[in-house]
C-alpha cells in the first residue's frame, strides 16, 4: 500500500472498520516484526478456509509475518490450496489462471519497475508444487532464465491438494495417489537444483520447523530478488488431509522430513552473500544500539 | 526517434493532418503502436504475426516502447500481459491462430480481470491439416468472451482500429481488452495506402487510477483487498459473483459502442443504403464484398454493402435498421462455420433471407465471382459463371 496510503486520515478512525484500524495501529505496516511475537500483533492473515491443521496454512502465516516490506508487497498465487489463505490477507493478491504465476509476475514486476523506478515494490509468488513444477513449469523456468527480479516460493505438499489428491511431479516415487493407481513412476523433481541452474541467485530448501529460520529465509530471498534476480524457496508444507497426518503430528512429520530429505539447504551467489551479510550486520548493530540506549 | 508530444486521442485520431503512405498491415500495426505511448510489448512469434512484433521490437530499440521481450510461449505472453496491465502499464501484443488458442485461457480471462490492452489477431488456420494461411474461425470463440472485437478490412483499418483501441479499452466505463483482428498475409503482408498522422505525436500515457478496478501497485487503499473474498467462501456465492460480474463485463462491452462511434465513426459502414440485396461482411471478406458491390453497380443491380467493423459489441440495432427493406442478405466469410452469418440471422426479424455464404477457408482467397453468383441467385438472374 505504501505507508502513506495505509494511514487513516485524522478524525476518521472511528468510522473505519475496526479490523482496518487495528491493522494500522497494531499490525506490521512500517515495522519490522519478530516472528516469535506471532499472536501478539494484528497479523496480515487471520481467517482462512484451509483445512484445520494444514501445515501449509501455518507456513503462510509465518510468511506474512516475515515480509520485509508488507506495505509495498504484492503476492501472486494460482489454483491450489495456498490461494485460499493468500486471498484473505491484508496484502494485495493476484490470482490468475492455473500455473501462470511466474509469467504474470514477470509482467507485473516489469510494469512496477517502469512506473515506480525509485520505489521498492516486492513481488512474491507463492504456489503449489503442481502449479510451479507441472502445469506452470515452462513459465517458472523461463522467469528464472530471464532473471526476473521476484521471489518464487513453492509450498510443496507433494500432492494436488485442491483437486483432491492426485500425484504431482513432486510426489515421492512409488507413492500411490489418485491418478497414480499403481504408484508414482518417477522421482521427485529436483526443483532446487533446477532453480540454481536456471539462474536463481538465492535458493533455499526448508522444512518449516523453526519460525525464526523460515522468516530469515523469506527475508533473504525477497531482499536478494530486489537487487539481483530471481530467488526460490522450496518449502515442505505437508497436506494432512491427503497424507493422513493427524493434526497433532504435522510438526513431528516436518521434523522427520527435515532429518531425511528436507535438511535445510541454502545457496546464494557471492554478491548476494556479501549484500545480505552487510544488511544483517547493520541490523545487528542497530539492535545492539537500541538495547544499549 | 523524434521527440513526441502528447496530444489527446481526439487530436491524434480525428484532427491531426494525415500523410499518405504505402505500407503493409504489419507496418500499420507498428505505426499505431509508435503513436500509442505503449509501456510494454510482449512477443511470441507465429506466422503471419511475427513481422508485426519484430517491428514493435524495433520501436522498443528506438525508444518508443519502454519494455519488450520475447516470452516463452503464448500462454506466458498473455499471462505476462495480464500482470503488466494489472501493474498499471499500457501493453500490446499480437498473435495468430494456434498461438491465440494456446494463449486463450489467459486471453479470455482478461475481460473478467478488467484488463485494458490491445491485442492484434492476424488470423490463421488452426485446425488440421496444417496451413499457415488466413482463415478466421479463431475469431468465433473471442466473440463469446467479453472482449471488444474489431475486424479490420485493410491496412488503414489496422492503423485506425489499433490506435483507437487504446483509448477505447481504457475508458472507465469500458475497461476491457480490445482485439484488432485482420486476415494474416492478405492484409499483414500486403501493402495498401494508409493515411498516417504525424509520428511526433503520441497518446497521453495510461492513467491506471481512472479505473473501475484499480491497478495492483500498492499505491492505493484499502489494505485488506479481499478480506471477505466471497468467491472463496462458498460455491453459491461464487456462482452469484461470477454471474453478476459477467453481466457487468457484457454491459461494459456494450458501453464501448459509443466510443466506437466517437473514434471510428460507428460500428458499420453502409454502401448504397437503398439496395434490395445486401452483402454483409467483415475483414477481408468486406473488401471482396466491396468489389462485388462495385461490379453489381456497373451492371445496374440494386446491391449494397454493409461492412461490419465492430463484431463486439455487435451492431445489432444498426444492422437491423440497415437491412429493414432488404430482400436478401449475402454473408461471405473466411471460415467454415459461418459465425457472422449466424449473428446476422439472429439480429434481424426475418433471418430466412440470409444466405449462408459463400465461404472459403484454409487460406483460400474469396473470388468476387462467388459473391456475384449469390447476388444473381438472389435477384433471380440467370448468368454465365464468368464476369462480363
Ligand atoms: C488449466 C487448469 N487445469 C486444471 C485445473 C484444476 N486444478 C486446480 S488446483 C489443481 C492442483 C493444485 O495442486 P498444487 O498446485 O500442487 O497445489 P495444492 O492444492 O496442492 O496446494 C488443479 C489440477 C485448473 N484450475 N486449471
Ligand atoms: S487439502 Fe491439504 S494442503 Fe489443502 S488445505 Fe487441506 S490440508 Fe492443506
- Residue A240 C-alpha to ligand 2 middle, in angstroms? 6
**Residue spans per domain, chain B:** 5-209, 269-379
- Test mutation, A28, A42, A81, A110, chain B, max B CBs within 10 A: A110
Q: Was domain B269-379 assigned CATH 3.40.50.920?
A: yes
ipTM: 0.93
Q: Are A97 and B109 in contact (CB under 8 A)?
A: yes
**The two domains B5-209 and B269-379 share their CATH topology (first three levels equal):** yes
pLDDT at B267: 98
Residue A116: partners with Cβ closer than 8 Å, 6 or more residues away: B217
- Residue B12 C-alpha to ligand 2 middle, in angstroms? 54
Domains assigned to chain A: 52-292 (3.40.50.970)
Name the residue of A49, A81, A130, A153 to mutate for ligand 1: max ligand atoms within 8 A of Cβ: A130
Nearest beta carbon to residue A139 from set B79, B217, B225: B79
| A96:B109 CB<8 A | yes
CA A272-A274-A280 angle, to 5 degrees, is 100
CATH annotation of B5-209: 3.40.50.970
Which residues of chain B fall short of a pLDDT of 50?
224-230, 388
Rounded to two decimals, the pTM is 0.94
The total of other beta-carbon atoms located within 10 Å of residue A83's CB is 26
Could you tell me the three cell numbers for B105?
Answer: 485461457
Kind and range of the H or E run holding A106:
helix A101-115
Looking at residue A131, the DSSP 8-state letter turns out to be I
Going from the C-alpha of B178 to that of each of B10, B77, B93, the distances in angstroms are 18, 16, 11
pLDDT at B227: 44
Could you tell me the three cell numbers for B6?
Answer: 502528447
| pLDDT tens over chain A, length 293 residues | 577 778 888 898 889 888 888 988 999 998 888 999 999 999 999 888 899 889 999 999 999 999 999 999 999 999 999 999 998 898 999 999 999 999 999 999 999 999 999 999 999 999 999 999 999 999 999 999 999 999 999 999 999 999 999 999 999 999 999 999 999 999 999 999 999 999 999 999 999 999 999 999 999 999 999 999 999 999 999 999 999 999 999 999 999 999 999 999 999 999 999 999 999 999 999 888 887 76
Amino acid at each position: 500500500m505504501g505507508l502513506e496510503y495505509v494511514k487513516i486520515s485524522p478524525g476518521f478512525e472511528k468510522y473505519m472498520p475496526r479490523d482496518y484500524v487495528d491493522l494500522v495501529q497494531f499490525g506490521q505496516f512500517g515495522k519490522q516484526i519478530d516472528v516469535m511475537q506471532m499472536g501478539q500483533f494484528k497479523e496480515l492473515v487471520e481467517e482462512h478456509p484451509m483445512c484445520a491443521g494444514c501445515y501449509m496454512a501455518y507456513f503462510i502465516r509465518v510468511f506474512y509475518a516475515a515480509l520485509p516490506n508488507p506495505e509495498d508487497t504484492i503476492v501472486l498465487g494460482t489454483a491450489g490450496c495456498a490461494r485460499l489463505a493468500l486471498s484473505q490477507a491484508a496484502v494485495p493478491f493476484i490470482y490468475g489462471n492455473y500455473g501462470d504465476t511466474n509469467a504474470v509476475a514477470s509482467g507485473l514486476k516489469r510494469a512496477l519497475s517502469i512506473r515506480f523506478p525509485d520505489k521498492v515494490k516486492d513481488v512474491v509468488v507463492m504456489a503449489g508444487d503442481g502449479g510451479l513444477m507441472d502445469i506452470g513449469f515452462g513459465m517458472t523456468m523461463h522467469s528464472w532464465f530471464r532473471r526476473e527480479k521476484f521471489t518464487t516460493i513453492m509450498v510443496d505438499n507433494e500432492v494436488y491438494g485442491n483437486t483432491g489428491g492426485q500425484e504431482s511431479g513432486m510426489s515421492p516415487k512409488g507413492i500411490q495417489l489418485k491418478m497414480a493407481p499403481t504408484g508414482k513412476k518417477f522421482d521427485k523433481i529436483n526443483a532446487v537444483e533446477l532453480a540454481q541452474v536456471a539462474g536463481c541467485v538465492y535458493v533455499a530448501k526448508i522444512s518449516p520447523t523453526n519460525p525464526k529460520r523460515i522468516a530469515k529465509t523469506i527475508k533473504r530471498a525477497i531482499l536478494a530478488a530486489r537487487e539481483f534476480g530471481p530467488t526460490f524457496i522450496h518449502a515442505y508444507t505437508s497436506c494432512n488431509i491427503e497424507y493422513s497426518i493427524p493434526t497433532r503430528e504435522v510438526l513431528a512429520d516436518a521434523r522427520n522430513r527435515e532429518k531425511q530429505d528436507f535438511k535445510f539447504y541454502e545457496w546464494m551467489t557471492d554478491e548476494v552473500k556479501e549484500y545480505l551479510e552487510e544488511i544483517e550486520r547493520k541490523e545487528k548493530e542497530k539492535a545492539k544500539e537500541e538495547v544499549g540506549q | 526517434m523524434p521527440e513526441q508530444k502528447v496530444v489527446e486521442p481526439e487530436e491524434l485520431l480525428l484532427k491531426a493532418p494525415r500523410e499518405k503512405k504505402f505500407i503493409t498491415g504489419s507496418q500499420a500495426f507498428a505505426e499505431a503502436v509508435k503513436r500509442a505511448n505503449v509501456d510494454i510489448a510482449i512477443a511470441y512469434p507465429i506466422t503471419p504475426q511475427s513481422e508485426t512484433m519484430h517491428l514493435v521490437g524495433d520501436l522498443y530499440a528506438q525508444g518508443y516502447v519502454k519494455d519488450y521481450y520475447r516470452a516463452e510461449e503464448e500462454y506466458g505472453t498473455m499471462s505476462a500481459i495480464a500482470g503488466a496491465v494489472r501493474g498499471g502499464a499500457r501493453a500490446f501484443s499480437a498473435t495468430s491462430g494456434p498461438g491465440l488458442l494456446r494463449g486463450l485461457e489467459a486471453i479470455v480471462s482478461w475481460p473478467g480481470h478488467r484488463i485494458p490492452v490491445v491485442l492484434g489477431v492476424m488470423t490463421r488456420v488452426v485446425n488440421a491439416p496444417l496451413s499457415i494461411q488466413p482463415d478466421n474461425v479463431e475469431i468465433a470463440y473471442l466473440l463469446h468472451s467479453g472482449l471488444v472485437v474489431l475486424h479490420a478490412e485493410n491496412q488503414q483499418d489496422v492503423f485506425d482500429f489499433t490506435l483507437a483501441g487504446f483509448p477505447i479499452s481504457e475508458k472507465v466505463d469500458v475497461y476491457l481488452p480490445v482485439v484488432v483482428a485482420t486476415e494474416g498475409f492478405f492484409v499483414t503482408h500486403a501493402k495498401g495506402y494508409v493515411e498516417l498522422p504525424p509520428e511526433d505525436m503520441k497518446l497521453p500515457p495510461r492513467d491506471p487510477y481512472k479505473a473501475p478496478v484499480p491497478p495492483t501497485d500498492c499505491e492505493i487503499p484499502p489494505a485488506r483487498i479481499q478480506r471477505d473474498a466471497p468467491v472463496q467462501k462458498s460455491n453459491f456465492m461464487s456462482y452469484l459473483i461470477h454471474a453478476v460480474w459477467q453481466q457487468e463485463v457484457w454491459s461494459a462491452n456494450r458501453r464501448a459502442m459509443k466510443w466506437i462511434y466517437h473514434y471510428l465513426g460507428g460500428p458499420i459502414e453502409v454502401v448504397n443504403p437503398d439496395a434490395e440485396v445486401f452483402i454483409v461482411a467483415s475483414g477481408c471478406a468486406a473488401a471482396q464484398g466491396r468489389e462485388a458491390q462495385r461490379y453489381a453497380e456497373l451492371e445496374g443491380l440494386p446491391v449494397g454493402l454493409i461492412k461490419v467493423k465492430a463484431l463486439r459489441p455487435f451492431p445489432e440495432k444498426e444492422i437491423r435498421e440497415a437491412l429493414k427493406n432488404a430482400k436478401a442478405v449475402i454473408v461471405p466469410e473466411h471460415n467454415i462455420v459461418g459465425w457472422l452469418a449466424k449473428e446476422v440471422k439472429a439480429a434481424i426479424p426475418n433471418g430466412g433471407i440470409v444466405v449462408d455464404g459463400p465461404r472459403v477457408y484454409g487460406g483460400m482467397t474469396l473470388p468476387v465471382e462467388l459473391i456475384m453468383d449469390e447476388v444473381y441467385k438472389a435477384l433471380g438472374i440467370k448468368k454465365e459463371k464468368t464476369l462480363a
